Chains A and B, each alone.
Chain A
Amino acid sequence: MNSNGPLMEHGKRRVAYYYDSNIGNYYYGQGHVMKPHRIRMTHHLVLNYGLYRNLEIFRPFPASFEDMTRFHSDEYMTFLKSANPDNLKSFNKQMLKFNVGEDCPLFDGLYEFCQLSSGGSLAAATKLNKQKVDIAINWMGGLHHAKKSEASGFCYTNDIVLGILELLKYHKRVLYVDIDVHHGDGVEEAFYTTDRVMTVSFHKYGDFFPGTGDLKDIGAGKGKLYSVNVPLRDGITDVSYQSIFKPIMTKVMERFDPCAVVLQCGADSLNGDRLGPFNLTLKGHGECARFFRSYNVPLMMVGGGGYTPRNVARCWTYETSIAVDKEVPNELPYNDYFEYFGPNYRLHIESSNAANENSSDMLAKLQTDVIANLEQLTFVPSVQMRPIPEDALSALNDDSLIADQANPDKRLPPQITDGMIQDDGDFYDGEREGDDRRNESDAKRAAQFESEGGEKRQKTE
């Protein structure tokens, strides 16, 4: 098997992180469980843990109407763009048609909210396409229920589908993995009949939203066997989750051999979620992220569900730390929303002693069924491709060429240095390292700065 299976870390992964500071100020409405504020809480934790030292932070441009209609129907997007709580009455019919109103309320700034979450995933996918980064994170995205022309389950536009479509421009096969407690029906439906995208979803099934995601749903037409559903029961723990996740995903990686992976990290599968009945902790949830990180494939991590904001923030912060491979202490750093994390102010959460309704027998059966399906797959589907034409101006776009041709006496141009991240093996990064081998000009500059700073301080005081 020519699998590029789990690899040892042999180099730092470059990580891009997408965030827009406006996202926390959208409000679904009184009493609605979906709170975009959790993304801001996550952001504050990520920054205050100092994880920015290993990240590149980007602010995505909002997705345009055209961007979003690459998946969604024009009619639906026009509706989202034009409807707002004030002219709601004139859209009564369409609201019913597009399922906007009940779970998916029309709130102020809805369209901008969609633009931001979709923009983040599109930008992340573009970044991966350009191979500027190895991992791209967009906690604003992950709205996996949205259909082509229908809102569903607090999701209006499906940023994941848009992101995958973008990835498909340059990647033959894309794997989508969904560890949200709800079934990723929107994404599965969008790629139900293609063999270029495999969707794998681990979710609670049985009298639970959205009602889809039966083991027997395996795709249709050309996409048959390319939709994998792992229906689970209440109260699943870290150990039993991993006992089924790892074998199945290893098999998927082996048989499907994706060129890029999109991981939906819905945090409602954690213990204590207001909607999800699972019993996972950050460790079990984060293990899934760690699993894909160990493969050497471009990885896009998006958010998703999660209805206990403090746990969502904890979970996604922890998963960001996994993406950059940095240990973070259990004590939470002080931040603007520190009070939300009381009473223990720790990163990790405990599991509860709720009954695990997933017996090991049942899981084993499930596993064999899923793997049996996977075994039927034609080994690594080939994709008909046209030859990629030579890029006429490749020299202009190639960063390494710019670096090679740059004047060695001068500093590298910023477009290169900006993208560089400190290497773990780099020992020459600062004064604290080694003996007093500071170079003269640096020392002077530091001294100058101090004195200048001192003067300025006096002035300002």
Chain B
Amino acid sequence: MDSYTSSDEDASRKENISDEGLNMLNASPEPMEEDDPEEQAEQEEETSRMARPIRSMRKRETTSGESMGDEDEDLEDEEDEDEEAEAREHHESGAHDTSFSNPLSNVDNLIHVGTEYQAIIQPTAEQLEKEPCRDQQIWAFPDEMNENRLTEYISEATGRYQLPIDRALFILNKQSNDFDAAMVQAMRRKEIHDDWTAEEISLFSTCFFHFGKRFKKIHAAMPQRSLSSIIQYYYNTKKVQNYKTMINVHLNETDTYDELFKEVNHLERVPSGYCENCNAKSDLLILNRVMSRHECKPCILYFRLMRVPRPASLRALTKRRQRVLCPEYMKIYVYGYLELMEPANGKAIKRLGIGKEKEEDDDIMVVDDCLLRKPSGPYIVEQSIEADPIDENTCRMTRCFDTPAALALIDNIKRKHHMCVPLVWRVKQTKCMEENEILNEEARQQMFRATMTYSRVPKGEIANWKKDMMALKGRFERFTPELDTTATNGNRSGKVRINYGWSPEEKKNAIRCFHWYKDNFELIAELMATKTVEQIKKFYMDNEKLILESIDTYRAELKSKLGK
């Protein structure tokens, strides 16, 4: 019974073919066979539909409008490859459900003839072409393979090193089936685990809730992940997470995201720069009116959707933390610092040949003479274990304390006083401390020598020195703190704020500077620090007469003084 054709359909096809300009079809019409009337009617309807637009056969006449609608529904309602029952239901209803059996559209149900449709076949094997290599071998089972070792290798590689089987096989194949070498390779091979962080997972879940399986949109919300990584994550966790319960019920009603996208696309844009939310470089910045700042697209979409700024934890993910390398020229200082922090070895004392000879008593001497911290009774200083002994109510004592003489001394003290001797902790002496001590020692000695020689020095000479010192002192005093160019003049960041007004203090200072340096504006600006060269120049120009007068009087005064 089964030849669902009618003669007019055949005719239509023939016409179609001749229409294509190919008259090679000489198939005689097949004898028409009986068909059940219902289908016949349907068939006829269809053929008539087909027969009408013969010339525009390629114009995609949709087969039927209602079947398209049904199909959409069907596709939307898919989701259920899981439930066996549903599948069966589909299956059973499939026979009658036209929407189901016709999920595809736009086909004119004809096999066409013509060069536009047929493949062009080259004559066979005119010559043995050199075929291009079209593949890469991943794995081939060689003839001399120890199956047990293979099993062992695979279980090791997949179990311990977490390699996928095909990669393990590929490694083995690349090592020409040498298990030992392959094992070494497998060990070294770090499987790039596409691990998802907790933040990413929760963001994925949120996105999935809103967008469903529109992975493109999820990808837009988490651009640090590749689309295929997202899809793979979905499939890997699909059965575990039960995403279906998460899908938003409103998903099919309105696509808020699309509207959002449209809305966002119409927002005010700035060509490029850095997002003010995530600091990422972006080609396009969009004004976020609520926050009144420019943000990149992911940030703004996130904000529109969640009504909160895109969190920082997610941003940290996208940025790779960079470790700053220590510049070469700074390394000397770092090494110097490290060296100074090493425990003292007494070498500095020997090298410089200064400082006191080490005596045993020193080991328990307390250097810190802060009365508050000093224990009232006799006490022993001990080497500290803690890094910061000062916290422990101690003094800052120095050297190691483990010589037999020191120990004997402690015993001695303990015996003498018959009481509990409080212990005082001290830091292990570092080189830095040692050198400081040496310098102090040196200074002390020089002071000592100075006092010793004082009596022998002619008094007149000393009086001269004193006079010089005074002169020097006087010269220093001329530098007021405001004029000082050290950091005290600047703010905390080390930058000096330039101000525009002239305070009386500043005017006074400026005039004094003019006295000394006349019109060397650069120098004055440097000294003043709060004024630019231009400002000082202007100040000078504005008050030239006055300043010049002032200078003259100053000089005259100076001359008269010196003259004496």
- Stretch of A200-208, A250-258, A293-301, A314-322 at the chain-chain interface: A200-208
- Collect the chain A residues with CB atoms within 8 Å of residue B122's CB: 165, 168-169
- Collect the chain B residues with CB atoms within 8 Å of residue A308's CB: 81, 87
- Collect the chain B residues with CB atoms within 8 Å of residue A307's CB: 81
Given contacts A22-B228, A30-B214, A430-B146, contact A274 B90 (CB under 8 A): yes
When chains A and B are docked, how far (Å) is the Cα of A26 from the Cα of B235?
Answer: 11
A contact patch SS: loop
- Collect the chain A residues with CB atoms within 8 Å of residue B30's CB: 216
Q: Which of B87, B108, B119, B133 sits near A272, CB closer than 8 Å?
A: B87
Q: A246 at interface (Cβ–Cβ under 8 A)?
A: no
When chains A and B are docked, how far (Å) is the Cα of A389 from the Cα of B10?
Answer: 46
Q: A245 at interface (Cβ–Cβ under 8 A)?
A: no
Determine if A208 and B101 form an interchain contact, defined as CB atoms under 8 angstroms apart: yes
Q: A56 at interface (Cβ–Cβ under 8 A)?
A: yes
Determine if A57 and B143 form an interchain contact, defined as CB atoms under 8 angstroms apart: no
Determine if B117 and A190 form an interchain contact, defined as CB atoms under 8 angstroms apart: yes
- Contact residues, B112-136 vs A (CB, 8 A): 112-113, 116-129, 131-136
Q: Which of B113, B126, B133, B236 sits near A221, CB closer than 8 Å?
A: B113
When chains A and B are docked, how far (Å) is the Cα of A70 from the Cα of B121?
Answer: 9
Determine if A214 and B136 form an interchain contact, defined as CB atoms under 8 angstroms apart: no
Determine if A189 and B111 form an interchain contact, defined as CB atoms under 8 angstroms apart: yes
Determine if A445 and B180 form an interchain contact, defined as CB atoms under 8 angstroms apart: yes
Instruction: Type the 1/0 row for A157-175, where 1 means its CB is closer than 8 Å to any CB of B.
Output: 0000100110011111000
Determine if B102 and A422 form an interchain contact, defined as CB atoms under 8 angstroms apart: no
When chains A and B are docked, how far (Å) is the Cα of A430 from the Cα of B150?
Answer: 11
- Collect the chain A residues with CB atoms within 8 Å of residue B111's CB: 185, 188-189, 192, 212, 217, 227
Determine if B140 and A119 form an interchain contact, defined as CB atoms under 8 angstroms apart: no
Q: Chain B: how many interface residues by the 8 Å CB criterion?
A: 106
Instruction: Type the 1/0 row for A101-127, where 1 means its CB is closer than 8 Å to any CB of B.
Output: 011000011000000000100110011
- Contact residues, B206-221 vs A (CB, 8 A): 212-216
Q: Which of B76, B81, B128 sits near A309, CB closer than 8 Å?
A: B81
Determine if A57 and B127 form an interchain contact, defined as CB atoms under 8 angstroms apart: no
Q: A362 at interface (Cβ–Cβ under 8 A)?
A: yes
Given contacts A212-B109, A220-B113, contact A152 B22 (CB under 8 A): no
- Stretch of B92-100, B360-368, B405-413, B441-449 at the chain-chain interface: B92-100
Q: Which of A33, A58, A147 sits near B75, CB closer than 8 Å?
A: A33
- Contact residues, B286-306 vs A (CB, 8 A): none
Q: A235 at interface (Cβ–Cβ under 8 A)?
A: yes
Determine if A221 and B134 form an interchain contact, defined as CB atoms under 8 angstroms apart: no
Determine if A57 and B166 form an interchain contact, defined as CB atoms under 8 angstroms apart: yes
- Collect the chain A residues with CB atoms within 8 Å of residue B2's CB: 205, 215, 231, 233, 362, 365-366
Instruction: Type the 1/0 row for A176-212, where 1 means its CB is closer than 8 Å to any CB of B.
Output: 0000000001001111111011000000111111111
Determine if B119 and A209 form an interchain contact, defined as CB atoms under 8 angstroms apart: no
- Contact residues, A71-103 vs B (CB, 8 A): 71, 73, 85, 96, 99, 102-103
Instruction: Report the nearest A residue to B50, measured CB to CB.
Output: A211
Instruction: Report the nearest B residue to A417, measured CB to CB.
Output: B142
- Stretch of A3-11, A283-291, A336-344 at the chain-chain interface: A336-344
Determine if A27 and B231 form an interchain contact, defined as CB atoms under 8 angstroms apart: yes
Given contacts A148-B116, A272-B91, A456-B187, contact A169 B129 (CB under 8 A): yes
The 8 lowest CB-CB distance pairs between A and B, nearest first, are: A211-B109, A339-B239, A25-B228, A221-B24, A123-B134, A56-B140, A123-B135, A57-B138
A sample of 5 inter-chain contacts (CB < 8 A) reads A48-B165, A60-B134, A185-B107, A192-B111, A192-B113
Interface residues, chain B, CB within 8 Å of chain A?
Answer: 1-5, 10, 17, 22, 24-27, 30, 39, 42, 60, 63, 68, 75-76, 78-79, 81, 84, 87-88, 90-92, 94-95, 98, 100-113, 116-129, 131-150, 164-166, 169, 173, 176-177, 179-180, 183, 187, 212-216, 227-229, 231-232, 235-236, 238-240
Interface residues, chain A, CB within 8 Å of chain B?
Answer: 18-19, 21-22, 24-27, 29-33, 37, 40, 43, 47-48, 52-61, 70-71, 73, 85, 96, 99, 102-103, 108-109, 119, 122-123, 126-127, 129-130, 147-149, 152-154, 161, 164-165, 168-172, 185, 188-194, 196-197, 204-212, 214-218, 220-222, 224, 227, 231, 233-235, 271-277, 279, 307-310, 336-337, 339-340, 342, 352, 354, 357, 362, 365-366, 369, 383-386, 388-389, 391, 414, 417-423, 426, 429-432, 445, 448-449, 452-453, 456, 460
